[in-house]
Chain A
Amino acid sequence: MSAFKKFTDIQFRDLGLLKAALSDLGFTTVEEGNQLPLYGYRGDQRAERGELVIRRQHLTRASNDLGFQKTKDGYIPVVSEYDTRVLLEGNFLARLRTAYNLRVVSRVTRQVHGTQTVKTEGNVIKVVVRY
């Protein structure tokens, strides 16, 4: 049985951008609700709950549910140890943060009526917004 971990240091403030970022990574089927229960890979209900949940059927064969719990600071990921290691070759959280932050940049660009110049140097995506 894989334990769930709450990543309290990672917060996604905007639900719409979080859902868009998940969709960018291919996770298009998400459940939204209040205190939704999370289930393990054997269908066992766990103590953890979330306001946004991707059911294990939409992840890998041995995955557990993956959730996001609403807090005063935003949505924090609740991911099993197994999925932390396996999803997107173990890069799920970093890729999700990257996708979310790219969405943030697009939102800010629109709000300031700016134009973007994007380039990638090594592992760093650099975006300049002029307005």
Chain B
Amino acid sequence: MPEIRFEIDQVTGELNTHVKGVQGKSCLDVQKLVEDLVGQAQETTHTAEFRQVAQVKPQGKIRQG
């Protein structure tokens, strides 16, 4: 199950975000959602999950000719 881990330091108010269990581009979508609200991340580290390409199965059959 995908998850987003947020950590807010109450001394400074700083926010750290870690996206887990989300592969490839979907991870960037979540990151963008957060960045739209808090601004660009000062540091971004991609995990091995990010480098995995999501496997997409076609939903239907295509018949030819």
User: Is the pair A114, B4 in contact by a Cβ cutoff of 8 Å?
Assistant: yes
Could you jot down 16 A-B contacts, CB within 8 Å? Answer: A94-B11, A94-B12, A97-B12, A97-B15, A101-B6, A101-B15, A104-B34, A104-B38, A105-B6, A108-B37, A112-B4, A124-B9, A125-B8, A127-B8, A131-B1, A131-B3
Chain B count of residues within 8 A CB distance of the other chain:
22
- A128 interface hit (Cβ, 8 Å): yes
- List residues of chain B with CB within 8 A of the CB of A104: 15, 34, 37-38
Residues on A facing B (Cβ under 8 Å): 11, 13-14, 17, 73-74, 93-98, 100-102, 104-105, 107-108, 111-112, 114, 123-131
Which one of B1, B2, B6 lies within 8 Å of A127 (CB-CB)?
B6
